[in-house]
Amino acid sequence: MIGTSLILAAVGLLFVLFCLWMLTWVLGLRRVVPVNEVHIVQTRNSTISYGKGFDSNTYYEWPSRLPLIGLQKVTLPVSNFSIDLPDYAAYDKERVPFLVHVMAFFRINDSNTAAQRVASFDELKTQLTAIVQGSVRTVLAGHEIDQIMLDRSRFGEAFTKEVQPQLGGWGVEAIKNIELMDIRDAKESDVIQNIMAKRTSGIERESRLVVADNHRQAEMAEIAAKREVELSKQQAMEQVGLRTAEKDKNVGVANEQASQQVKVEQRETAAKEMDVVQVKNVRGAEIDRQVAVIAAGKAKEVSIVEAEAGKQVAIVEAEGGKTQAVLVAEGKLEAAKRNAEGIAVEGAAKGTAETAILMAPVDAQIKLAEKIGSDKGYQEYLLGVRNIEAIQAVGVAQADALKGADVKVISNAGTPSKGLSGVMDLFSAGGGTAVASMLEALSQSEEGKKLLEKFSGKADENRK
């Protein structure tokens, strides 16, 4: 029993180990397709593609030796890939050998078709390389080397059109035109070099021609530019000359106008100065005339006063002689009359003098009023000045008259104020009494008698 149990346990353990191994082996067959690849799985009955863009990207890679479930796998890239022909020998239409560098870019658009045509990606690239070489050789063989060198882009389009019908059978498509990258001489050949030399010399010739033409055009442009500059300078100088002449003309006109304006101003100034002189002369003449008028009025007033004074003196002398002649006979009556007449004459003289005094400043004020206007205060001032001058002149005239009259006044009163207060008192009643008393007193002395005799002798001469 124990032996059987151990055998069963060992068998069970082996089975478990086998199951684990099988599970590990199966899990090891599981494949996850990378994003840049496509796996084409071929079984006995179908071909299925796995990867990005397909139904699934995982599968189990059963070995092809297993019956029924065994399979084969072809791995192809999903990304773009290139075919590079760096030194491909080709010929032109004239069988001239040369080397070309061609680049072609493809991608797989039908993975199942591609997997059916090739067993691996390297084999696909080999087939595509042969297709590209054949297309390049076919296209280049129909043209000359010069044309090929000039039209590289056109030949790239021709290569693409040549290979396009063949690519569909391989499940591949071109993603851009095949490019003709470079053309070089084949070994022991100088065709490309000679063509390049010819082209270089042609280019150099054309370049020199262009350079010469550019120099010629540049020189012509410089000559034209210099001519334009000279013309511009001449025009500028002409404009400057015209502006200078215009400025000189304007300055001359302005100077002349300024000179005329100065003369006009001088004339107006001279006229104003003459007006001032005229006003000054006229005013001076008017002042002189007024002074002369005032002086004449003053002289007239003085003459009148002097005449009146002389008249009064003559009257006084005449009345004095008459008084002396009739001194005793008529006495106090005659003295009273003479006193009254003296008072009347004095009043008339004073009235005349006062009238003249008053009229003189009035006339002057009337004349001055025509010039001065209505300045009443100034008129009153002039009137006061003239009154003072007139009174002064009358006083002077009276003093001169009394001096010429040879009248002596003796005051025997106690004080001078009690004596004869004025010359005209001689002609009053008191004055007559005083005169009579005086004569009586004079007759009592020898000197008085001589004096009276002297007056009497004069009275006789006057009567004769």
Q: What pLDDT, in 10s, does the model give residues 12-59?
A: 888 888 888 888 877 777 887 777 778 888 777 777 878 777 777 788
From CA 302, how far away is CA 394, in angstroms rounded? Answer: 7
Same domain, 441 and 378: yes
Residue 422, H or E segment: none
Kindly tell me the burial class for residue 255, based on how many C-beta atoms sit within 10 Å of its own C-beta (0-12, 13-18, 19 or more): exposed
Residue 234 within any structural domain of the chain:
no
Same domain assignment for residues 35 and 130: no
| Confidence band of 1 (pLDDT split at 50, 70, 90) | low
* H or E stretch at 226: helix 191-325
pLDDT of residue 459: 43
Range of the domain at 116: 80-189
Final residue in a domain of this structure, among 74, 105, 125: 74
Decide if 215 is inside a domain: no
Q: What domain count does the chain have?
A: 3
Please report whether residue 216 resides in a domain: no
- Predicted local confidence at residue 415, as pLDDT: 45
Residue 312 identity (one-letter amino acid): Q
Tens digit of pLDDT for each residue in 86-98?
Answer: 888 888 888 888 8
Q: Which two tokens stand for residue 300?
A: 């007239």
Tokens for 405, please give them.
């009259």
Domain check: are 104 and 169 in the same one?
yes
pLDDT, tens digit, 9 for 90 and up, residues 162-203: 888 888 888 888 888 888 888 888 777 766 677 777 777 777
| pLDDT tens sequence across 291-316 | 888 887 877 887 787 777 777 777 77
pLDDT tier for residue 374 given thresholds of 50, 70 and 90: low
Q: What is the pLDDT of residue 464?
A: 46
Give the span between the Cα atoms of 366 and 379, in whole angstroms.
9
What tokens were used for 103?
């680049």
310 shares its domain with 446:
yes
Distance from the Cα of residue 340 to its chain's centroid: 102
Asked if 456 and 363 sit in the same domain, the reply is yes
Q: Residue 251 domain-assigned? A: no
Helix, strand, coil share of the chain (percent; to 5):
70, 10, 15
* Tens-place pLDDT, residues 331-362: 666 666 777 777 777 777 777 767 766 666 66
Give ∠ CA 280-286-289 in degrees, rounded to 5: 140
User: Is 227 part of a structural domain of the chain?
Assistant: no
User: Counting beta carbons within 10 angstroms of the beta carbon of residue 362, is it exposed (0 to 12), middle (13 to 18) or buried (19 or more)?
Assistant: middle
Are 447 and 331 found together in one domain? yes
If asked whether residues 90 and 66 sit together in one domain, one would say no
Specify the pTM: 0.37
pLDDT computed for residue 58 by the predictor = 84
393-441 pLDDT, tens digit each: 766 665 665 555 555 555 454 444 444 445 445 545 566 666 666 667 6
Out of 74, 97, 122, a domain closes at: 74
Structural domain contains residue 36: yes
Mean pLDDT of the chain: 76
pLDDT tens, residue by residue, 232-268: 888 888 888 888 888 888 888 888 888 888 888 888 8
User: Which one of 74, 90, 119 terminates a domain?
Assistant: 74
Domain shared by 63 and 100, yes or no:
no
Question: Does some domain include residue 247?
Answer: no
> 398 and 318 in one domain?
yes
Q: Which residues pair with 184 in a beta bridge?
A: 99
